[in-house]
């Protein structure tokens, strides 16, 4: 029996499952989906969190810290990509003949039971575009099952279990996770060098995306690709799959026309086969989000969704959590939080911010992982220089140990006027002192820097109350 067939059998038989890293953005919805299907679930995570508390409230037993005894009684284990072979729970499972599966393999098993499997990939924009697709599918009454790497207000969660024949998933390339998927519609937003603790270089990243595109079935599947991104087009060059392109290029199959921006709202026509498919009003700023909307519209076209559902779905979309999310004000400055953790994402964020303000931009950034910070050091420095004032929190370790000997202090030294803040308390007080009416303050990163943003706006509300 192959791995996928074995995993599918275990899930169908409702055997006890243990999830390592259960609090992660894609592990927690997986836990809920399995639990809702009647599979007994336990889990573990390094840190307690609101997500862990939510899972516990639904009856799932979760241990903080990774220990071999946590796996006792499990028939199989599903691990996050960050749980390596030396993880004590992985080691215990291997030593005791308990099969260990990857998170992506579990999602792959789940999606095989849907007619339409819409998988959104790319170095940037996955969460936003998956969220846009969710809004469209809901507007079209398709009752989708959804897995997003962030919270969507429409769902009050990052996932949804529907009864329709369509599943939409954010699909990550890290550790080749998305190669365990079974997409019928594969979207590639863009490709850049990232996750260089796993991939050798940009060419290795492109090779992974090419393999992902080749998972689409022939003749019924389709690859939806960003024609404006050279790396994407290089990756899929010559593949024997049907390809539909989107972008601003006049050669794109789906493109934007008559684009205007009014008060931060992007308004444009989506053109398909020389005709207007729909009119979009998008309330989140940035040219990159217009492209994300074009990708979502292209997916809707392939799924046979009428244009009016795209119009309604995107008009109601206000962004996903931690994607340029407005959090409040401090001393008259607007505070936004964003998940950007790659130089390309920082540049897109700065483009979006500059489109809505002429005021100062104060950026508090927490780099994510030592390996990424070192590999893209110069690119990070250049992107951060675009802000008027930069504050740097220490690097968020995530899955790594600092064997490189790098610090955010090194990055601060490469950026004129930048300030390294060794503690969140120091960073919070400096941001509060820096804030003035008309400023935009950004808390940015894939770690826990969002707590700074919450502290700023919370303390402001308390002060106003007095």
DSSP-assigned beta bridge partners for residue 187: 120, 224
| 353 pLDDT above the threshold of 70 | yes
Encoded tokens for 191: 């490709």
Residues in the chain: 466
- Specify the pLDDT at position 465: 31
DSSP-assigned beta bridge partners for residue 243: 223
CA distance 220 to 241: 9
- Specify the pLDDT at position 415: 97
Indicate the helix (H) or strand (E) that contains 158: strand 157-160
For the chain, the helix, strand and coil percentages under 3-state DSSP, each to the nearest 5: 35, 25, 40
Q: State percent of the chain over pLDDT 90.
A: 80
Q: Which residue has the tokens 């300030």?
A: 419
CA distance 292 to 281: 13
Range with the poorest average pLDDT among 271-280, 303-312, 374-383, 449-458 = 449-458
Question: What are 292-306's pLDDT values in tens digits?
Answer: 999 999 999 999 999
Question: If you average pLDDT over every residue of the chain, what do you get?
Answer: 93
| 459 pLDDT above the threshold of 80 | no
Looking at residue 69, the DSSP 8-state letter turns out to be G
Looking at residue 465, the DSSP 8-state letter turns out to be H
- Specify the pLDDT at position 408: 97
| 460 pLDDT above the threshold of 60 | no
Sorting pLDDT into bands at 50, 70 and 90, what band is 40?
very high
Domains of the chain: 3-104 (3.40.50.720), 114-315 (3.40.1190.10), 325-465 (3.90.190.20)
- Specify the pLDDT at position 464: 32
Question: What are 180-230's pLDDT values in tens digits?
Answer: 999 999 999 999 999 888 899 999 999 999 999 999 999 999 999 999 999
Range with the poorest average pLDDT among 89-93, 97-101, 316-320 = 316-320
| 108 pLDDT above the threshold of 80 | yes
| 462 pLDDT above the threshold of 60 | no
Tell me the mean pLDDT in the region 161-181.
92
Question: Does residue 442 have a cis peptide bond before it, meaning omega lies within 30 degrees of 0?
Answer: no
Whole-prediction pTM: 0.82
Active site residues: 126-127, 170
Instruction: Please check whether residue 150 is in contact with residue 158, taking contact to mean a CB–CB distance below 8 angstroms.
Output: yes
Q: State percent of the chain over pLDDT 70.
A: 98
Range with the poorest average pLDDT among 164-168, 440-444, 452-456 = 452-456
Closest CA to 77 of 7, 125, 129, 180: 7
Tell me the mean pLDDT in the region 109-114.
91
| 466 pLDDT above the threshold of 70 | no
Closest CA to 147 of 109, 193, 189, 192: 109
Question: What are 371-382's pLDDT values in tens digits?
Answer: 999 999 999 999
The beta-strand segments (E) located in 203-347 are: 222-226, 243-247, 254-262, 265-272, 275-282, 325-330, 333-338
| 2 pLDDT above the threshold of 50 | yes
- Specify the pLDDT at position 458: 57
């Amino acid at each position: 029996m192959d791995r996928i067939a074995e995993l599918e059998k275990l899930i169908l038989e409702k055997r006890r499952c243990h999830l390592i890293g259960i609090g992660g953005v894609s592990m927690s919805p997986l836990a809920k989906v399995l639990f809702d299907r009647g599979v007994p679930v336990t889990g573990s995570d390094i840190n307690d969190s609101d997500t862990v508390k939510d899972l516990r409230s639904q009856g799932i037993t979760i241990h903080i810290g990774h220990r071999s005894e946590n796996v006792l009684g499990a028939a199989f284990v599903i691990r996050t990509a960050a749980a390596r072979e030396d993880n004590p729970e992985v080691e215990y499972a291997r030593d005791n003949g308990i099969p260990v599966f990857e998170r992506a393999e579990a999602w792959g098993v789940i999606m095989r039971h849907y007619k339409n499997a819409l998988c959104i990939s790319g170095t940037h924009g996955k969460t936003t575009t998956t969220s846009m697709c969710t809004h469209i599918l809901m507007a079209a009454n398709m009752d989708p099952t959804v897995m997003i790497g962030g919270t969507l207000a429409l769902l009050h969660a990052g996932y949804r279990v529907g009864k329709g024949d369509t599943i939409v998933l954010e699909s990550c390339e890290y550790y080749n996770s998305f190669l365990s998927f079974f997409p019928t519609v594969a979207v590639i937003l863009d490709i850049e060098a990232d996750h260089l603790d796993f991939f050798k270089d940009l060419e290795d990243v492109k090779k992974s995306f090419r393999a992902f595109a080749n998972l689409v079935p022939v003749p019924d599947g389709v690859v939806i690709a960003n024609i404006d991104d050279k790396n994407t087009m290089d990756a899929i060059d010559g593949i024997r799959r049907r390809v539909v392109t989107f972008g601003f290029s006049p050669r794109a199959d789906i493109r934007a026309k008559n684009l205007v921006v009014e008060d931060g709202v992007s308004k444009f026509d989506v053109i398909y086969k020389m005709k207007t498919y729909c009119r979009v009003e998008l309330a989140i700023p940035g040219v990159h989000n217009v492209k994300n909307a074009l990708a979502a519209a292209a997916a809707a076209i392939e799924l046979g969704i009428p244009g009016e559902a795209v119009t309604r779905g995107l008009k109601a979309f206000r962004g996903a959590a931690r994607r340029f999310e407005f959090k409040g004000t401090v001393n008259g400055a607007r505070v936004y939080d964003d998940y950007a953790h790659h130089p390309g994402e920082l540049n897109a964020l700065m483009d979006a911010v500059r489109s809505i303000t002429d005021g100062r931009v104060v950026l508090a950034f927490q780099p994510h992982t030592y390996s990424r910070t070192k590999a893209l050091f110069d690119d990070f420095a250049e992107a951060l220089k675009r802000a008027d004032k930069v504050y740097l929190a220490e690097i968020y370790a995530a899955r790594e140990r600092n064997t490189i000997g790098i610090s955010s202090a090194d990055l601060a030294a490469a950026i004129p006027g930048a300030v390294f803040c060794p503690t969140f308390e120091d960073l919070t007080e400096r941001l509060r002192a820096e804030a003035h009416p008309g400023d935009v303050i950004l808390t940015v990163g894939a770690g826990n820097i969002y707590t700074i943003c919450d502290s700023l706006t919370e303390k402001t509300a308390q002060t106003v109350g007095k």
